[in-house]
Amino acid sequence: MMAAPTEPGTWTGRALPRLEDPAIVRGWGTYVADIASRNAGCAYVRFVRSTVASGRILSITAPPGVTVFTGRDLADVAPIEAALHRPDFVAVGTPILATDVVRFVGEPVAFVVADSDAAAEDAAELVDVDIEPLPAVLSAPDALAEGAPLVHDSVPADHQNAPNTMVDGRVTTPGAAEAFTRADAIVPVRVSSGRQSAMPLEARASHAAYDRADGRITLHSTLQMPHITRTGIADCVGMAEDDLRVVAPDVGGGFGAKMTLAREDVALVWAARTLRRDLAWIETREENFLAAWHSREQVYDIEGAFTADGELLALRGDLICDVGAYCCYPVTWAVEPLMALAELPGPYKVAEYDVRSRAVATNKCPIAPYRGVSRPMQVLAMERLMDRAAAHLGIDRVEIRDKNLISEFPHRAPTGLVLDAASHRETLAEAARLADLDDFAVRQEQARRQGRYLGIGFSCFAERTGYGTPAFAARSQPFGLDPTKPAPVITPGFERVILNMDPSGGLTLRIGASPHGQGLKTTLAQVVCDELGMRPDQVRVIASDTDATPYGWGSYASRAMVIAGGASLIAARELAERIRGLAADRLGGLPDDIVLEDGTARLRGGTEAVELAVIARDTYHSSHLIPDKGQPALEAVGTYDPSGTFANACHVAEVEVDPQTGQVRVTRFLVAEDAGRLINPAIVDGQIHGGVVQGIANALFEELIYDDRGVLVTTSLMDFLPPTAAEVPDIEISHLYTLSPASLTGAKGVGEGGTIGAPAAIANAISDALSPLGVGVFHLPATPHRIRSAIREGRDIRPAPHPSDAAVPAPQQ
């Protein structure tokens, strides 16, 4: 079902300039560091971090005059606990400061307090931490090997089959083994990715203000989930949530990295309460790389069972996620492996399935969500599989995808996931049309004759978005299976909004979601105004302040427009209904005969109109005169908790690879996107652009590298190598519009899609370009050095070692 992009007379569907931007582009935004710098009385905190990957803390000493706190001082602060109820999940708490042992380079072991940030930096240098090194495990195969050192010795080595196994999920359908015996071809693919940082432009930062009047703390922090951050800190510190207010001011990028509770924030709130003073912590870029969560270090070993004509009968696999040293809060270290286990087939039909997916702990920075979570790797695995199967079976790469894409809805995947209406085949067809493969084939052939290597690559994916508590609950078993162990399972999902019309007729929308760059204030205003016949600039959206907003789960997982958007629509419809009733009392007719437009209410077909501002004023100030008046306030609450929907897209990358230097230039990038109904097409395109750039970064540039002692060596932007505008092509976008009843507004989420699809498209394009040289890409990023080595040796860019290898080959750089 294709919907018109814009219905005439509506605010939704229009590329309105973002209401947020005039202040931000003028430099009038307020970030945490601004709040700290305006507070003359505020002291600063700096953390002292471990310089070894694994070790025993022997002593922490500081010269007189340095105010230093260690884990012993925080003995009453509980560790951060996040858990799932499932037999294969291992729960391990994270201490706020490492106390007896350290488990990764960058782990906080102490903090100092001084009167300025510079003085705190100097003081931190004076703290002497003596650590006796212990054996460390730095890769998943090493961590799983018999006799491996244990990252957490509270978890016995034989706890679940192999040491350091924190999650070990498996889904097997009854006919999987038989399907592999029946297949005409079994195509194996192993892919892997290096570690990546979400790298928000604004690193982490927090300011904790102590109110001496009531002992309350107000924490301003650069966050995606203010309410759950408050819950987490209050639980650790042992304070009532009401004694803590959490506010996220303007946030300079999150990308998932700011949804996870920071140990540093717990320490800061504890210290502000204990010292009874205002404290700030402004993270450095180096700390952000060391300790603010990593992502993407995974190796997926999969096999597809195909018929001779390219039908995918079955999929089996062994997926390994290196999750680092600690469990993230609230989504846990199961987030990558369980998402991969549930969603690996993506947009493809596959009847039989046998996949195991594990989280393996290592002595490296903990893993937490980063835009797309494990889907970039899932799509890389499936899309490399499709290209390999096409080549093996002699089938066109578009045809083999088209044959296997889901086309009937709803579709139940073998993992139990139900996919709602989407346009997988149509987006592929649209992308193929725009790519003009016949023309490309001519250009590729001509270029090859000149010794130039052009390639084109496809990537199809489903972007699961807008999932509420039903989806998160499916990851865990019902609470209370073991009533003796009430572990703190957190099941996120719903969103609530409160919509108010004030006596002057202005609208205030308070939301539990917490936008940080997505333009949500604009898009929610568009949704609300279509119901109330007002202008978006008449709506003030209040977010990201636990004192001012209803409890909600924040912004992550491409969810805000779907869930907070649905809740806003519910609230706006209820308020509109109330206003129509009040207008009908004045104008006659039934409420359903009242039309709200241009800030007025009028009787359908009539000319007499009453301004909403007049209705609002009278409702509050002459409430005694209103018949059947109900509540005097003009207020409505909306709550929405959907089971989730799927946006879908097809990406096509064109590249030119220089075989002399190994340099890859992305010369064209196409996106055929179906995000359902577009509330604001300009914002949607902006989300796609940003996501694709981060996907290009994953494919070609960014990589966090540890040395063989577990020391991170990429701790600056120069080493980590984020792409610049010079490395990014124009991104051409074509939209399709499939509506699904799974989303109240018709909007499907779009925040992560670019990042999910782009790496696979580029890996396929490079592999296409270099096919005459026998080089395929199976590990990302495909850096010039890796490409040069592979060309020189006439082999693939090999994936990282997988524990299933009998003899694990040495990793290659």
Contact residues toward ligand SMO (CB under 6 A) are: 224, 256, 259, 369-371, 373, 556-557
Which residue number, 296 or 802, has a Cβ lying nearer to ligand SMO? 296
Which residue number, 196 or 224, has a Cβ lying nearer to ligand SMO? 224
Cβ at position 560, least distance to ligand SMO in Å: 10
DSSP class of 536: G
Cβ at position 556, least distance to ligand SMO in Å: 3
Cβ at position 112, least distance to ligand SMO in Å: 31
Which residue number, 20 or 336, has a Cβ lying nearer to ligand SMO? 336
Which residue number, 210 or 370, has a Cβ lying nearer to ligand SMO? 370
Cβ at position 346, least distance to ligand SMO in Å: 17
Which residue number, 556 or 701, has a Cβ lying nearer to ligand SMO? 556
Cβ at position 519, least distance to ligand SMO in Å: 15
Cβ at position 224, least distance to ligand SMO in Å: 6
Which residue number, 12 or 222, has a Cβ lying nearer to ligand SMO? 222
End-to-end CA distance of the chain: 48
The tokens describing 627, both together, are 């018949």
Cβ at position 329, least distance to ligand SMO in Å: 14
Which residue number, 55 or 369, has a Cβ lying nearer to ligand SMO? 369
How far is it, in rounded angstroms, from Cα 671 to Cα 411? 24
How far is it, in rounded angstroms, from Cα 180 to Cα 302? 13
Which residue number, 373 or 583, has a Cβ lying nearer to ligand SMO? 373
How far is it, in rounded angstroms, from Cα 404 to Cα 211? 61
How far is it, in rounded angstroms, from Cα 636 to Cα 498? 6
* Cβ atoms of residues 749 and 557 within 8 Å: yes
Helix, strand, or coil here: 787? Answer: helix
Cβ at position 557, least distance to ligand SMO in Å: 4
* Per-residue burial over 169-207, b = 16 or more CB atoms within 10 Å of its CB, e = otherwise: bebebebbeebbeebeebbebbbbbbbbbbbbebbbbbb
SS3 assignment for 572-605: HHHHHHHHHHHHHHHHCCCHHHEEEECCEEEECC
* Cβ atoms of residues 53 and 710 within 8 Å: yes
* Cβ atoms of residues 531 and 573 within 8 Å: yes
How far is it, in rounded angstroms, from Cα 613 to Cα 110? 57
How far is it, in rounded angstroms, from Cα 355 to Cα 626? 64
**Residue with the closest Cβ to ligand SMO?**
256
Q: 763 — phi, psi (to 5°)?
A: -60, -40
Which residue number, 57 or 368, has a Cβ lying nearer to ligand SMO? 368
How far is it, in rounded angstroms, from Cα 258 to Cα 251? 9
Cβ at position 566, least distance to ligand SMO in Å: 18
Cβ at position 198, least distance to ligand SMO in Å: 7
Helix, strand, or coil here: 125? Answer: helix
Which residue number, 62 or 339, has a Cβ lying nearer to ligand SMO? 339
How far is it, in rounded angstroms, from Cα 51 to Cα 440? 51
Return all residues near 594 (Cβ < 8 A) that are at least 6 apart. Answer: 579, 580, 583, 584, 587, 601, 602, 603, 604
Cβ at position 259, least distance to ligand SMO in Å: 5
How far is it, in rounded angstroms, from Cα 179 to Cα 189? 18
How far is it, in rounded angstroms, from Cα 775 to Cα 793? 9
How far is it, in rounded angstroms, from Cα 778 to Cα 58? 43
Which residue number, 224 or 459, has a Cβ lying nearer to ligand SMO? 224
Which residue number, 232 or 256, has a Cβ lying nearer to ligand SMO? 256
